[in-house]
Amino acid sequence: MLVESTLLAIVRIPYLGRHYIDWRRAYAFQKLLVACSSNDPFSVIVVDPRTGVASWSYKGSELQGATVGFVDSLGVNGDHLLVSIKDRPLIHAFAVHPRDRYHQKAVVSGVISTFCTNKDGSLLFASIAAQLFVWLLSTGELLAVVDSHYQAITCLSLSSDESLLFTASKDGSTHCYLVSDIISSNRGSTVEPIRKWRAHTLAISGLSVSNGTNPRVVSCGLDHISAVYSVSLDEILLKVSTDRPLTACKLDPAESRLFLGSDTGSIAQINLYDLVSRDLLIQVSDEKNRRVPIFNGHSDEITVFSTNGDGSLLASGDSSGRYCIWEIVSKQCLKVSSMRGSISSLKFVPSWRSTYVADHASAHPMFELKRSISGLEKISMRATPGNHNGLTRKIPKSGNYVGAHITSEEGPFKYPGKYT
């Protein structure tokens, strides 16, 4: 079943009555979500990568002059955005549609450095200092608080099947958790990661996870090192040493190219299929480097990368507010623009209906995050009609819907399930 929010272009071909997906047209619908750390208006925009023109922008009057931190969509449908505040223990949720004035904010126990949600928007994973917090958004329940690192967490990322959560920290370690372990009802035991990697001696500044059920994980740090890990093998597949501190990294969707950003604005492209050694030494500051292709368009520290769905475009942002859209094959900068603060979020997203449909309507999620953990006693899984984001949804006649009923001291509530 194709999800409408992905806006896939389906081409009907009479041959054997099949439906074929024109992926080139499908990924042409993608837009670029850009956010900068600034208290100025319009610090969050959505850009058409083909023209470089902003098709949607957020004025930010509800933030009351606060500096924008990290920004991401609540789920994949793009009806709502979440915005953390850089220097305050607040996180805001607001509707994307211009005519929808929905806005909620929640006070948490500390400043959120980064966060992510699952695809249906039912779970929120956020890092506060060295702790990992998990909320069930349909009720606002705080499901877990995990002391995952010794120093502040810098990066969070979910696997594409949402079964694994990866964290990276200033202590130089990268952890892999089972999401089922984190939301487990047994609060008396400590949640332990299933994988621990320590390839860095200084803070980790970037993290990227490949698609699939057996993902590869890339981290980069200020110690001039980037490492590629295998979850299934539990070992380091590749270690790259550079002449400059690394501040961002990104794997393309095909896992054939690795992009590394440095503190001087250089972007190095490593072709993974051409490597013959598991240890690599490169110079990212050498513009005439023939061994490793270098993208030249930034003069300040690279903060974030993103690639589009078919791996043809690369978006990069730096600490001065400049962001570029590159064609990877030709290494040409197609579009370049700037904002008034350091680029904090940069992500290719589907062309959300909420940004262009005039009469688009969406149900609003409950956004009241609790600051004390719920006293859960048991969790049981069974087939049951459920909801997503606390919103009632019709169950199709075919297929089974698997959800969970969680019983707590405050009464039962429901963990959104999924169709099988």
Give strand pairing partners of 380: 405
Give strand pairing partners of 10: 21
The arithmetic mean of pLDDT across residues 270-286, rounded, is 88
pLDDT for the residue numbered 185:
58
The arithmetic mean of pLDDT across residues 79-103, rounded, is 93
294: exposed, middle or buried (C-beta count within 10 Å: 0-12, 13-18, 19+)? Answer: buried
The arithmetic mean of pLDDT across residues 149-157, rounded, is 96
Q: Which two tokens stand for residue 188?
A: 């008396």
Give phi and psi for 334, each to the nearest 5: -80, -45
Domain boundaries, the chain: 199-296, 376-419
CB 43 within 8 A of CB 114: no
Give phi and psi for 316, each to the nearest 5: -135, 145
Q: Which two tokens stand for residue 28?
A: 């042409």
Per-residue pLDDT at 219 exceeds 50: yes
CB 245 within 8 A of CB 223: yes
For residues 156 and 403, the model is more confident at 156
pLDDT band at residue 417, thresholds of 50, 70 and 90? very low
Strand order across the beta sheet in which 164-169 lies: 153-158, 164-169, 174-178, 195-197
Secondary structure (3-state) at 354: helix
Is the domain spanning 199-296 CATH 2.40.10? The answer is yes
pLDDT for the residue numbered 26:
43
The arithmetic mean of pLDDT across residues 301-309, rounded, is 96
* CA dist., res. 165 & res. 176, Å (int): 6
Using left for φ > 0, alpha for ψ between -120 and 50, and beta otherwise, residue 16 falls in left
* CA dist., res. 33 & res. 80, Å (int): 13
pLDDT digits (tens, 9 = 90+) for 164-204: 999 999 999 999 999 999 987 566 678 999 999 999 999 99
Per-residue pLDDT at 395 exceeds 60: no
Q: What is the mean pLDDT of the chain?
A: 83
DSSP string, 124-151: EEEEETTEEEEEETTTTEEEEEEE--SS
Per-residue pLDDT at 108 exceeds 90: yes
pLDDT digits (tens, 9 = 90+) for 31-61: 999 999 999 999 999 999 999 999 999 988 8
**Neighbouring residues of 398: CB distance < 8 A, sequence distance ≥ 6:** none
Q: Which helix (H) or strand (E) holds 316?
A: strand 313-318
223-237, 280-294, 295-309: least confidently modelled range = 280-294
pLDDT band at residue 86, thresholds of 50, 70 and 90? very high
* CA dist., res. 413 & res. 410, Å (int): 9
Secondary structure (3-state) at 25: helix
pTM: 0.82
* CA dist., res. 248 & res. 221, Å (int): 8
pLDDT digits (tens, 9 = 90+) for 353-374: 998 888 888 878 778 899 888 7
CB 362 within 8 A of CB 393: no
CB 30 within 8 A of CB 55: no
